[in-house]
Structure 1
């Protein structure tokens, strides 16, 4: 049997015993119901382009579609559903949602990032690449800087053939990798050295410098994507195996699809499996990374997909939805008004603009306001978010000091922990597993949700899904690990134990080999040691001055805190009250370069709020500066402005 043939070995060794439901009898799982367009989309038999605005419940829609396909047997055992997301936390969140809805079918739902999926293909089947593109001595991941690209373009420009030299020298370094390298399909046969146009010439020189002339090769994820596309295109048996394995494909956040990713999807899945793409062009905030304009429209045309606009908003109150609609129609004039399905719980304005005389006054006033609101309403610090376009670290020190006066913590989700952002670490499946195990060891009772999450993760790590015998064994092992770890924690107080000691002890009780294989298979863009190192760094930071292991774990996660994060990192999240700070030229200095994407970022930020959004500025010239249009939109939406001193 060839290496490619092994891809078609589907499913578990033993078929799980599940009862199928007739399609006409199927009902949504775990929720009361869906809006009519969502129901139609999840039961649609062809390709579907689902336009899902803020708060539309796109994750739930995809989870329910997975439940429908798996529970009815429309996606028959042992075939699987492949869900592709652009962020690791989004992929993990969708996977957890499906597991909670249909745990008996969870092993047949594969949720991973685009980069992880394409890298897994290259890692497994690189030997099947065409001879011209054969890989020698493997590769290493390398992320060239803009300065690296500028130097490369400066070198190849003067050497380009005369008839295309001017075009080559006009290529911008900022978009070169995403648009030029990502926009060129690798030919099966190596082209002649004299390329036909500037794109082909520049892209080929890049490949010669970093791949064909390197041992090991130096690849970024755009290049890995191009190799995966070439691999599937040149190996029909692999393409057939992928289509047999995954007859149903979900693609989340489709508005952020790059030309390379779109090309890959078309090569592998067009005219084959049924593809459900979900996105919203008004939330296209990754243009700087090569996101295609009008990606959903392109998908609908290329895949002959039926469009399903979702009209319900399950997140924001009616007042906020009306304000969001003003911004939405500025981005897309044809946007239909969304319908709020959330009751307002405030008597005051759902949106306001606050102006301040200084950044210190801003931090002091907002901190006091949050503390007062918590005292009056019973809300928690985690119900509040402090957002900014960028440079979020400049806000942290001031707000940490001011909120501490009221006993309120701040968590900066943009903080770099070793090599991983805190938000990514706290949502990482391996980090959640380790943290969950420590919580179960420290608190033996009262954590059924944590127990179930840890157990489900271990089922996946050990390939036990659908195998009752294996699941019992994993459950017994989990009991043994938590019992042993509980005894160790009791003998090693947090006040005298290092982060290294506790991690070494816990890992000694686990099958690290199985964990390593699981991470390598499901998260190929991440090494286990990277996550462990970041976990260690975070643990090392919170250990000092912690009175107990429970205190350590609470500080590690810092769940009950006001969250500080960028608008980009807020994507997909929601909070009761959002403070969108920094409405000024300093935060929005690049607005003029791409006002559409900048306005989309603004739209994403204000639409994170469920009940209230407060926009702040300390600049007296904000209304007449780069983002004067934002203030015009807020005025059109009748958002009142208050001088807070």
Structure 2
């Protein structure tokens, strides 16, 4: 039975035979050393729970642990390591990190999101679902709004049997992640005389969305439940998964939901060596169903050994001290991390700036960034503008003020159809198309881009381990870029529509092979959605731009000041961070869940490596958000009024 990522899938290379390194002789690759706790955790071949705070280098740790297992033969060929992340970019980053450390084993490291993995199981094995759960006409992914869920629950209360109606007081915001996600699908749908209130409500939800005539409507939580049922109902599939993946890594474990935890336990509990990495202080997905104390639950359920990383490779010592003040609010017993970053002289590490208006704030900060860039070797990409949630409130003024200095802004939360810009830029589809356009526009000096595009095309055509096939792919790539170059020169951005440009690029490729590759390499990525988002971004980037090189620069926004929410900043780092809007308008939800709000505050501020500047106005500082100002005072953050 072929499982997701197993040998034989389209685009998956067959690993070359390599020499094993004795475990006692293995050394880290690409880095000088690991901290003592990391060495102990890395060599532990059982279940491991690793606490890794901001800047601890968890991605590097997982890459080194993968290299250790693969190079020593602890994970022998043809078995693989499965790495599960919660964000597409985190999954992609970890996959690339492993490929750079052990390229000869890259094909045996499968990195994807939780949703992508469970979706791939349903897509490939749906016909093996029990009869009661067979789909009549496929499915579409649709995320129900709170209003739609609330309407369903209201209707349910009126139509339910009298004996159950009083017990159906579910919260609309918690119903899908907690109630639907916490319910194991039985092989047979329960009858009316077998149901309690929870079973009745969830059964009716499945009937309304999934067990309906025509195409089913599902959320990722429902795909998770279907995947768990599949593995439970088809023992051969569970055995195949465990044989293929004797080791599983799960990143950001503090964000694990009830459904994901039960899936992990059901599929990989007992025989698989599972490594869970997380930090409860960064639990910011409670609204989406993240379990409280998820790492502790994992430790108990999997009888895992716990380790804690103590080094911080990102932030200067002064910022680590500030982070510790906030961390202690979340976990009073937390141990202060040790900064391993080299501090820069001449910086005030942290400050709170007060402004009388949003216009004054944007103007002052834009001028300040421009002066700092001019006086240093820093680039716009070294600066981040982070806010709690409503990024769109800040973008217009900052875009105009920074543009006056010739500095771009990239809003990572910008919507492009059904994708955000951040997700688009990390997608396999966009990376390939953008790379092809880069090579066509600038035929010389892009060695890294050529290598990346060539490697992708080799995987698309299954040519990774066939030298003659690789040569043919290289020749074809040269021909494709030459044809595309001719087209671009004849169609400058002012006359070429984004739709025509995308059609031209896709027309030069094997569309069927590309679709198969994307489905295999990035199971959570919808090729058509990504293609539509790519076209939308290209259209925006082309507006008023005369040269294709400038269009592509604008598309990527690589050398731009990034604007993003605290949630989307997770896992990223910048030289200087402006944490905008420390006031009630941005933090209105803080009073509903102060702990999660404090975690979001902690995540956002811990992105800074050398400088951290909070901004606020003259509005009320009492009430729930007064805690934020109290913490800054306790950390000794000075306040400066900039008028």
TM-score of the alignment, normalized to the shorter chain, above 0.5:
yes
Deviation at 1:583? Answer: 0.6
Residue 268 in structure 1 maps to residue 267 in structure 2: yes
1:49-90 deviation per Cα after TM superposition (whole angstroms, max 9, x unaligned):
111100111111111111111122221111111111111111
Q: Which residue of 2 aligns with 1:429?
A: 428
- SS of equivalent to 1:167: coil
Q: Which residue, out of 615, 628, 631, partners 2:629?
A: 631
After superposition, the Cα gap between the structure-2 partners of 1:15 and 1:222, relative to the gap in structure 1 and judged at 3 Å, is: closer
Q: Deviations over 1:103-145 (max 9, x none)?
A: 1111111111111111111111111111222222222222111
Q: Secondary structure at the match of 2:49?
A: strand
Alignment map for 1:152-551 (pairs within 5 Å): 152-168=152-168, 170-551=169-550
Q: Secondary structure at the match of 2:582?
A: coil
Deviates more, 1:518-527 or 1:310-319: 518-527
Conservation of the 8 A alpha-carbon contact between 2:117 and 2:524: no
Deviation at 1:240, TM superposition (A): 0.1
Within the alignment, does 1:52 sit opposite 2:55 as a pair?
A: no
Cα separation, partners in 2 of 1:616 and 1:103, compared to 1, 3 Å: same
Contact 2:386 / 2:579 at 8 angstroms: preserved in 1? yes
Which residue in 1 is equivalent to 2:75?
Answer: 75
- Which residue pairs with 2:31 in the alignment? 31
Deviates more, 1:38-47 or 1:260-269: 38-47
Give the structure-1-normalised TM-score. Answer: 0.96
The Cα shift of 1:5 comes to: 6.4
Cα distance per residue 1:325-374 (max 9 Å; x no partner) = 01001001111110111011142321111111111111111111111111
Q: Tell me the CA shift for residue 195 of structure 1.
A: 4.6
Q: Is the 8 A contact 2:5 2:110 kept in 1?
A: no
**Residue 119 and residue 61 in structure 1: after superposition, are their counterparts in 2 closer, same or farther (change >3 A)?**
same
Q: Pick closer, same or farther for the CA change 1:417–1:216 going to 2, 3 Å.
A: closer
Distance between the aligned counterparts of 1:7 and 1:88, measured in 2? 17
Distance 1:260 1:473, change over 3 A: same
Following TM superposition, by how much is the alpha carbon of 1:320 offset from its aligned partner in structure 2, in angstroms? 0.3
What aligned pairs does 1:599-614 form with structure 2 within 5 A after superposition? Answer: 599-614=598-613
CA distance change for structure 1 residues 354 and 443 in 2, over 3 Å: closer, same or farther? Answer: same
**Closer, same or farther: CA 157–457 of 1 in aligned 2, 3 Å:** same
1:157 match: secondary structure: helix
Q: Secondary structure at the match of 2:205?
A: helix
Q: Is 2:574–2:609's contact at 8 Å kept on the other side of the alignment?
A: yes
3-state SS of paired residue (1:276): strand
Instruction: Write the distance in 1 (CA, Å) between the matches of 2:350 and 2:636.
Output: 9
Indicate the SS of the match to 1:319: helix
- Aligned partners of 1:467, 1:75: CA distance in 2, in Å? 25
Match in the other structure for 2:66: 66
TM-score by length of 2: 0.96
2:129 touches 2:229 (CA, 8 Å); kept in 1?
yes
Q: Which residue of 2 aligns with 1:104?
A: 104
How far apart are the structure 2 equivalents of 1:466 and 1:30?
Answer: 25
Relative to structure 1, the CA distance from residue 233 to residue 593 in structure 2 (aligned partners, 3 Å threshold; closer, same or farther) is: same
Q: 1:248 to 1:491 in 2, by over 3 A?
A: same
- Choose 154-163 or 259-268, whichever is displaced more: 154-163
Equivalent-residue separation in structure 1 for 2:299 and 2:305 (angstroms): 7
Matched residues in 2 for 1:9 and 1:529: separation?
25
Q: Is residue 5–residue 237 contact of structure 1 (8 Å, CA) maintained in 2?
A: no
2:3–2:121 contact (8 Å) kept in structure 1: no
Q: 1:146: which partner in 2? A: 146
Q: Hey, what's the Cα distance between the residues in 1 that align with 2:422 and 2:6?
A: 36
Over 3 Å counting, the alpha-carbon distance change for 1:460 and 1:276 in structure 2 is farther
Partner secondary structure for residue 449 of structure 1? helix
Q: CA deviation at 1:278?
A: 0.8
1:583 aligns with: 582
- Superimposed CA distance per residue, residues 370-411 of structure 1 (whole angstroms, 9 cap, x where no aligned partner): 111111122111111111101111111111111122221111
Q: Which runs of 5+ in 2 are unaligned?
A: none
Alignment check: 8 A CA contact 2:13 2:107 kept: no
State the 1:630 CA deviation.
0.9
Shift of residue 520, structure 1, vs aligned partner:
2.0
Greater alpha carbon shift after TM alignment, 248-257 vs 20-29: 20-29
Residue 15 of structure 1: how far off its partner (Å): 5.6
User: What is the aligned residue count?
Assistant: 640
8 Å CA contact 1:8, 1:244 repeated in 2? no
